[in-house]
């Protein structure tokens, strides 16, 4: 049908993966080559899958090129919109709540708990400062 749901789904996933890599994967560990691979390989693989899936839908005769293009466009728009909602609602409002809620389920020994909790607070504070800098600058 119009638009292609397959093209829409894979384009949505690829777009979300790319935006996530652009905005959230700047603090990875490892050498520069390892960081580059960890950051860019997953979204590029997602885009290759999206291209392959879209091509297959046309090649197998399930959709016309126009249906696939409409589905891919819809997936890109929805993936971008969903990522903006993820950034503004989940990261800003819900993530701190869930981190606090789930922190009681850590399976650490007593001597590790204080260090882990302090490290998490520092990571969360650092992430919030970076988010505030990104929004202001």
In this prediction, residue 15 has a pLDDT band, given cuts at 50, 70 and 90, of very high
pLDDT at residue 108 in the model: 56
Q: For the whole model, what pTM was predicted?
A: 0.64
Nearest to 22 by CA among 100, 105, 79: 79
| Cα–Cα dist 19/31, whole Å | 22
- Write out pLDDT tens, residues 83-131: 998 888 877 777 777 777 777 665 555 555 555 555 666 677 777 777 8
Residues in the chain: 137
């Amino acid at each position: 049908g119009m638009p292609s749901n397959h093209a829409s789904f894979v384009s949505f996933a690829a777009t979300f993966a790319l935006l996530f890599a652009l905005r959230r994967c700047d603090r990875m560990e490892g050498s520069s080559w390892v960081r580059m691979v960890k950051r860019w390989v997953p979204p590029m693989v997602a885009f290759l899958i999206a291209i392959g899936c879209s091509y297959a839908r046309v090649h197998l005769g399930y959709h016309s090129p126009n249906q696939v293009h409409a589905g891919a466009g819809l997936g890109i728009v929805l993936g971008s919109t969903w990522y903006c909602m993820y950034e503004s609602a989940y990261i800003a409002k819900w993530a701190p709540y869930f981190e606090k809620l789930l922190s009681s389920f850590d399976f650490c020994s007593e001597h590790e708990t204080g260090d882990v909790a302090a490290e998490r607070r520092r990571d969360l504070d650092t992430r919030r400062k970076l988010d505030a800098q990104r929004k202001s600058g």
